[in-house]
A = this chain, B = another copy of it.
Amino acid sequence: MRSSQLAQTIANEITLLVTSGELSVGEHLKTQQLADRFGVSRSPVREAMDMLASQGLLEQKENRGFFVREAASGVVEQVRDDTGPFEVANDYQRLAEDWLTDRIPAEVTEQMLRERYELTKSQLNDILMRATREGWAERKQGYGWRFLPVAKTPEAFEQIYRFRMLIEPAAMLEPEFRLDRKIIDEQRRIQSRMLDTDIERLPAERLLHNGALFHEELIKMANNPFFHISLVRVNRMRRLLEYRSRVDRSRTVRQCREHLEILDLLERGEVVEASYAMRRHLGGALSKKSPITWSWSHQAHEKDNLEK
């Protein structure tokens, strides 16, 4: 079962396409088309389709390619379970969690990490690269790595929201701000569908993702990439924290409504009003202490400073 990671990932993506109804029963999956869509070559796509065929989601017809099977929906449940997202992500989360809960010291050597997590050099490299990009790890001079005192606490949450309360409303007032109908329509669609669906049943991951997406897409319209990238980055950090928490779904409904309101205002050209609404929206999330409940106790940082 140790097929290539890319193929695994793509198999998941394809499964998603089928379950979300974007690919309907009986439809023909064109290899090149999918490859282009995912930005890869045909090889891993083909491998993925092979896997899905053997799992029963697809059907292969001699010299004609792969087609979506009838009994697709039933099979999906199994598939979802054993295809964890590729392992790098898991290892990354493990490291992040260990650091957030002070189970590893602030300064470590690569060897230490490789032993602890049983990783190869490249695997570890990927993970540290990601942590570096996300801003909570850096190479020390000489040997070793240093993990930065990332916002580990609820206060960090407040700080992130204060930052967002500054840049998101301001983005709408930027001189180059332009409405983008495609973005607005797409977001309205997503937010509406969330309200229609039974929100209790949606996975927390998706709620968080859609929420972040809304804000990240909107800020794009300011046409200043530095606003956008800054938001993306604090959101990544936020997700690192939220990953370990439970979402309060009662608030999600209200948030969706507020999102739709903001879209309404924008469409009517009331940008200044929308900017205010955005500020209120973010302020609301802030004032209610924290939109999530913390599932771990934040203990003393003893292991932290073994250094000196």
Contacts and interface: CB of A to CB of B under 8 A. Distances in A.
A225 B133 contact: no
Given A159-B225, A229-B233, 5 more contacts: A41-B142, A125-B125, A160-B226, A226-B234, A233-B233
A151 B225 contact: yes
A237 B228 CA distance: 14
Given A9-B141, A133-B132, A226-B234, A170 B166 contact: yes
18 contacts: A6-B141, A39-B141, A39-B142, A129-B132, A132-B132, A132-B133, A151-B225, A159-B224, A159-B225, A162-B174, A163-B224, A163-B227, A166-B166, A226-B234, A226-B237, A229-B233, A230-B233, A233-B233
Given A40-B141, A41-B142, A226 B163 contact: yes
A175 B170 CA distance: 19
A135 interface: yes
Main secondary structure of the interface of A (DSSP, over half): helix
A60 B129 CA distance: 41
List the 9 closest pairs (A to B, CB-CB), nearest first. A163-B226, A159-B224, A230-B230, A40-B142, A40-B141, A166-B170, A132-B133, A226-B234, A159-B226
Nearest to A176: B159
A106 interface: no
A233 to B, nearest CB: 7
Contacts of A227: 163
Contact of A133 (B133, B160, B230): B133
A166 B163 contact: no
In this complex, the member of A224, A227, A234 whose beta carbon has the largest number of chain B beta carbons within 10 angstroms is: A224
A182 B250 CA distance: 46
Contacts of A237: 226
- Interface size, A (range): 20 to 34
A132 B229 CA distance: 13
Q: What's the number of copies of this chain in the assembled complex?
A: 2
Interface string A112-143: 00000000000001000100110100001110
A89 to B, nearest CB: 13
Contacts of A129: 129, 132
A158 to B, nearest CB: 9
Contact of A6 (B41, B142, B170): B142
Contacts of A167: 166-167
Interface in A170-203: 170, 174-175
A183 to B, nearest CB: 18
A243 interface: no
Contacts of A226: 159-160, 163, 234, 237
Given A132-B132, A159-B224, A166-B167, A39 B140 contact: yes
Interface string A198-241: 00000000000000000000000000111101100110010000
Interface string A273-306: 0000000000000000000000000000000000
A233 B234 CA distance: 12
